[in-house]
């Protein structure tokens, strides 16, 4: 049988929750917290003309869609570390106001667009209506003093369409909301939003507002408003089911528009417009540059265009259906424009919280002087996080990166052609340290149970890498009888030269795998290609010896061990270095 050349990187990084105080990705290590009244959502930020940050958000004294929900603003003069007391954009004792999105004009005026229940609809079929925050009027206010105070309210025109006449009010009330931060394209402003037929949230279509004079016209009554696309139907495709919502857009270098939105199928939809939003391509599921469908549950896939012309996509890297899909951790993809389309990279973990507890969503991105910050909400706390720019820039350079990671390399062997044993340097404790193991293998045949690496003691404590009955490659971690395992996606290890990365990130408490420069996402076989692991596992030094090729039918070309975790982009750099 033809030999398989197989490069296997195994990465482990561990920490006990609550003690990872040095990890900027951990949401409790936020650089600042945005004030709220209890509930908080969509903390979106713009940089004002005086260089302060102005955040608008939805808040209230109860939970989502309860009495008193309204939109507010707050100002930071120290890049999100501290914030001013909340200023009401709409008061809490007025009809509900929600889902604010801000925009700064060329001359410095800050607009905020939002859903306003102007008719104070709070009953349906003689029953109290709890979800009364995705209906009413689309309104806006503005600030000419950098967010200190806000103008009177103005209403956007919204034409009635067939979708409206399906709703429980037969079009007398319109259902909609938006998460799309406005963008500027050829001096015009655009933003996307979702119109609905089913209350409170379903049978959605994507729609877009355009104003071609908002950047110059100071009289709000003279603003031009165009509703796109043309015709009576918005952006949708029936093959995606009835859930198509939270449409948000960016522009390409040629001023084409790109839209992404969530569905209930476990995958986001995408579409392009090459005529300024008048017509859109038939939506398809978004895919990465290797044509693999991107996975995310019914959670906001937020889209950003950065100052260098590249893109970022916040998502959750699992295809569980419905609202119950994991919103922790939050992942990020890097996008690069090629041939008039956005090509998405392999992902990185951007932020994470405690397993089974935290839900992280509705982010915004602030970019200033080459630095990046992300805001996010956990519904009762909204935070600001400064992001390591190396992580972001690494996403955009994955194809070009051919650098072999050297930092943290503590052990290296080449050409292991028979069973051998090596003394290992002491490995860090996994509660506050990391290791990375990288293997290049020549495999004659993958036979279940074969051991590739093993340092376990007679009690089974330590780690081992082996072939599973599914012909996948698995890592097993064992400390004091507590064991966690995770393996590559079924079917991805095949004949030919291959590169695999297992990332067991103890601070985030995750195990991930990367095969041939692609982070496993579970494919068609499982919801995720990553897994939480038991945080009680700490010491995997085992015997202190590493047995290689105990009964493995093949040889190891290269073996490396690091005392830190590698990012996905670094692992891809190793792959590119060794295979291209």
364 and 443 both lie in a single domain: no
Question: Is the CB of residue 12 less than 8 Å from the CB of residue 429?
Answer: no
428 and 410 both lie in a single domain: yes
| 313-330 confidence digits (pLDDT tens) | 999 999 999 888 899 999
The confidence score (pLDDT) of residue 15 equals 39
How would you classify the pairing of strands 518-519 and 284-285?
A: unpaired
Mean per-residue pLDDT, 392-409: 96
473 and 533 both lie in a single domain: yes
413 and 557 both lie in a single domain: yes
Its domain, for residue 45, covers: 25-155+353-385
Pick from 580, 521, 206: nearest CA to 344: 521
Higher-confidence position of 510 and 363: 363
Please state, in angstroms and as integers, the Cα–Cα distance from residue 82 to each residue in 36, 54, 188, following that order: 13, 12, 33
The confidence score (pLDDT) of residue 399 equals 94
In-domain check, residue 452:
yes
379 and 467 both lie in a single domain: no
In-domain check, residue 167:
no
515 and 541 both lie in a single domain: yes
In-domain check, residue 319:
no
Question: Is the CB of residue 222 less than 8 Å from the CB of residue 238?
Answer: no
| 458-493 confidence digits (pLDDT tens) | 999 999 999 999 999 999 999 999 999 999 999 998
9 and 64 both lie in a single domain: no
Domain boundary residue, one of 361, 385, 409: 385
Mean pLDDT of the chain: 93
The confidence score (pLDDT) of residue 550 equals 87
Tell whether the model's pLDDT for residue 13 goes beyond 50.
no
In-domain check, residue 46:
yes
The confidence score (pLDDT) of residue 508 equals 86
Q: What is the distance between the terminal CA atoms of the chain, rounded to a whole angstrom?
A: 25
567 and 447 both lie in a single domain: yes
465 and 524 both lie in a single domain: yes
User: Strand 545-548's sheet: what is its strand order?
Assistant: 420-423, 545-548, 451-454, 462-467, 473-479, 482-487
The confidence score (pLDDT) of residue 49 equals 97
365 and 414 both lie in a single domain: no
Tell whether the model's pLDDT for residue 19 goes beyond 60.
no
Q: What pTM, to 2 d.p., does this model score?
A: 0.95
Tell whether the model's pLDDT for residue 200 goes beyond 80.
yes
What value does the CA radius of gyration of the chain take, rounded to a whole number of Å? 26
Mean per-residue pLDDT, 497-508: 83
Q: What 8-state DSSP symbol labels residue 27? A: G
User: What is the number of structural domains in the chain?
Assistant: 2
Length of the chain in terms of residues written: 580
In-domain check, residue 204:
no
In-domain check, residue 84:
yes
Tell whether the model's pLDDT for residue 6 goes beyond 90.
no
8 and 86 both lie in a single domain: no
* SS3 sequence of 140-209: EEEECCCCCCCCCCEECCCCCCHHHHHCCCCCCCCEEECCCCCEEECCEEEEEEEEEEECCCEEEEEEEE
| 402-457 confidence digits (pLDDT tens) | 999 999 999 999 999 999 999 999 988 888 888 888 888 887 889 999 999 999 99
Residue 198, judged by CB atoms within 10 A of its CB (0-12, 13-18, 19+), counts as middle
- Residue 57 sits in a domain of what CATH number? 2.120.10.10
Instruction: Kindly indicate the confidence band of residue 3, based on its pLDDT and cuts at 50, 70 and 90.
Output: very low
Distance from CA of residue 561 to its chain's centroid? Answer: 29
- Residue 8 sits in a domain of what CATH number? 2.60.120.200
In-domain check, residue 395:
no
In-domain check, residue 559:
yes
Q: What are φ and ψ of residue 389, in 5° steps?
A: -65, -25
419 and 493 both lie in a single domain: yes
């Amino acid at each position: 049988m033809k030999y398989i050349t197989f490069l296997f990187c195994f990465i482990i990084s561990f920490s006990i929750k609550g003690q990872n105080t040095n990890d900027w990705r951990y949401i409790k290590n936020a650089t600042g917290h945005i004030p709220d009244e209890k509930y908080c959502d969509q903390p979106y930020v713009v940089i004002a003309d005086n260089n302060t940050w102005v955040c608008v958000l939805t808040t209230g004294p109860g939970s989502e869609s309860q009495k008193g929900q309204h939109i507010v603003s707050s100002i930071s003069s120290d890049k999100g570390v501290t914030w001013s007391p909340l200023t009401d954009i709409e008061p809490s004792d007025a009809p509900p106001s929600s889902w604010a999105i801000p925009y700064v004009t060329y001359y410095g005026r800050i607009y905020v667009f939002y859903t306003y229940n102007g008719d104070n609809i709070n009953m349906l079929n003689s029953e109290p209506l709890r979800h009364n925050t995705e209906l009413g009027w689309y309104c806006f206010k503005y600030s000419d003093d950098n967010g200190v105070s806000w103008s009177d309210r103005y209403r956007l025109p919204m034409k009635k369409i067939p979708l409206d006449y399906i709703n429980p009010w037969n079009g007398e009330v319109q259902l909609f909301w938006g998460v799309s931060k406005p963008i500027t394209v050829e001096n015009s402003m655009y933003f996307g939003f979702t119109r609905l037929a089913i209350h409170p949230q379903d049978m959605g279509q994507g729609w877009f507002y355009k104003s071609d004079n908002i950047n110059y016209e100071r009289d709000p009554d003279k603003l031009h408003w165009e509703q796109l696309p043309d015709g009576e139907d918005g952006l949708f495709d029936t093959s995606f089911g009835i859930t198509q919502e939270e449409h948000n857009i960016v522009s390409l270098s040629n001023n084409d528009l790109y839209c992404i939105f969530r569905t209930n199928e476990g995958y986001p939809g995408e579409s392009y417009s090459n005529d300024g939003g008048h017509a859109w391509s038939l939506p398809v599921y978004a895919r990465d540059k290797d044509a693999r469908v991107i996975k995310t549950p019914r959670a906001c896939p937020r889209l950003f265009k950065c100052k260098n012309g590249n893109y970022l996509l916040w998502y959750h890297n699992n295809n569980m259906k419905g609202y119950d899909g994991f919103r922790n951790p939050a992942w990020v993809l890097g996008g690069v424009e090629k041939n008039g389309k956005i090509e998405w990279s392999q992902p990185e973990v951007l932020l994470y919280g405690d397993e089974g507890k935290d839900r992280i969503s509705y982010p915004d991105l602030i970019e200033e002087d080459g630095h990046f910050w992300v805001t996010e909400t956990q519904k009762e706390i909204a935070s600001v996080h400064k992001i390591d720019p190396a992580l972001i820039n690494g996403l955009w350079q994955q194809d070009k990166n051919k650098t072999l990671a050297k930092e943290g390399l503590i052990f290296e062997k080449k050409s292991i052609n028979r069973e051998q044993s090596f003394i290992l340097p002491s490995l860090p404790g996994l509660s506050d340290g990391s290791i990375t193991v990288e293997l290049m293998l020549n495999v004659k045949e993958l036979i279940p149970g074969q051991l590739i690496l093993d340092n376990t003691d007679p009690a089974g404590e330590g780690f081992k890498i082996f072939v599973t009955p599914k012909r996948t490659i698995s890592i097993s971690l064992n400390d004091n009888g507590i064991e966690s395992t995770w393996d590559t996606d079924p079917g991805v290890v095949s004949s030919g030269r291959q590169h695999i990365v297992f990332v067991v990130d103890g601070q985030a408490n995750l195990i991930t795998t990367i095969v041939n420069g692609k982070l496993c996402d579970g494919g068609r076989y499982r919801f995720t290609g990553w897994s939480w692991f038991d945080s009680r596992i700490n010491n995997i030094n085992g015997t202190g010896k590493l047995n290689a090729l105990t009964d493995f039918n093949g040889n190891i070309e290269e073996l490396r061990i690091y005392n830190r975790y590698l990012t996905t982009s670094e692992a891809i750099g190793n792959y590119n270095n060794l295979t291209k």
